[in-house]
Structure 1
């Protein structure tokens, strides 16, 4: 279609709900294809495998439920890494939480929280899903603050640069909630 407005009008006429419309250029499409070619040629690991390795390395072991999640169809990217590492800690009994959090962020093998893409979409999905709290990478904090203001997001968004900060935050919020 010719414009974002034309796409929006078309979707509205068909009564299809959507959060946002993104424009892709040929550069975006070919960049994605080139990255995939590097994976196929074994010159680069795909993001999902990088995430699996980082989470398992951080936890010091593989976890069957995490591997089950990662083996599902239509899983891609690495932005679930922080959430999976936190779930691994909960499964092991090293972390407890009585609160629900939306969590996004890639993770390194040492627990550093790395930036992710599609922040706007993830924030909007978390809010529509009814979360009161969201944890994001510190490198995405400015973008998240702008999105929160522009879209009147009524959810507390916390940023962390290491998984230890996320653990501390979850523990503090759970104490306040009691």
Structure 2
């Protein structure tokens, strides 16, 4: 008798087990890009409709009614949680393109190396090659289609932020804090740069510090140098991404030198050598190293003039 009751209880749990199984099976297929967010949410909506019909249309025990009700609530909550994915659907691509190196402090010779990264929505039927042809006037480094994993991560972060929890690192704020902590003094050009809406990441940190030191005449520089690299509050230079793109940006305006984190030196040199670019790449570990390298480059000028 006990075994019969246990077996019956297990069968009564089937609606809830089915709901969870369908959800995770769908989620797995969605993250692998096998199904769209429309299909994902439509199946959840079907479960939301299905369980009330069973609840109202079939004679059951109170316990089984509770299981169907619980399955309905679970399906409904999962649907509400996943519905925002539909707004992220579409033929979306992440595009990395050329951003002109910028000398923030006039006559400093220090050029901030950056890359434009934007998400674009293409019309249905258009593909990567079509986009490249339509934007042939622009220098596009890379274009990648947005995956469902990317969509799901963005949706989850956005929902968590709605309840006041911020999981994203504000790299621009972090860069601002580190630059100001190292310099101890403000700079109008740097403050203006940090307040821009289109600034992303923290790779301009080293260039901002060097530009400010040159403006304050703590460092003298007569060379034109492309600079990229994040920094800590104590002046350690931290590795960055999109190295190839930044090297190509420097080459586009004929910058003869690039200073970047030592950890990115090998990758940058591979780009320079493979494309035979007329650029000398210099790797540094600290702001002090960068200052020393700038002094050495300027000593070469003195030696040549003598």
- For Structure 1 versus Structure 2, the TM-score category normalised by the shorter chain is 0.7 to 0.9
Which one of 188, 191, 197 corresponds to residue 73 of structure 1? Answer: 197
User: Of 139, 142, 160, which aligns to 2:266?
Assistant: 142
- Uncovered stretches (5+) of structure 1, i.e. residues with no partner: none
Q: CA RMSD in A?
A: 2.6
* Counterpart residue number, 1:16: 137
Give the superposition deviation at 1:65: 2.3
Which residue in the other structure is 1:164 paired with? Answer: 288
Deviation of residue 89 (structure 1)? 0.8
Cα distance in 2 for partners of 1:106, 1:95 equals 19
User: Which structure is richer in relative contact order (CA contacts within 8 A, separation 6 or more)?
Assistant: 1
* In 2: Cα distance, 1:38 partner to 1:58 partner: 33
Correspondent of 1:58 among 182, 207, 218? 182
Correspondence list, 1:34-49, <5 A: 41-43=165-167, 45-49=169-173
2:192, 2:233 → 1: CA distance?
20
Deviation at residue 63 of structure 1 after TM alignment: 2.3
Instruction: Map 1:81-160 to 2 at 5 A.
Output: 81-160=205-284
Once the two structures are overlaid, the 10-residue window that deviates more, 96-105 or 39-48, is: 39-48
* TM-score between the two structures when normalised by the length of structure 1: 0.84
Matched-pair contact (CA < 8 Å) for 2:128–2:143 = no
Question: Under a length normalisation based on structure 2, what TM-score does the superposition of the two structures give?
Answer: 0.51
In structure 2, C-alpha distance between the alignment counterparts of 1:152 and 1:35, rounded to whole Å: 42
Shift, 1:142, TM fit: 1.7
Paired residue secondary structure (1:22): strand
Task: Give the superposition deviation at 1:160.
Answer: 0.6
Specify which structure has the higher proportion of strand.
Answer: 2
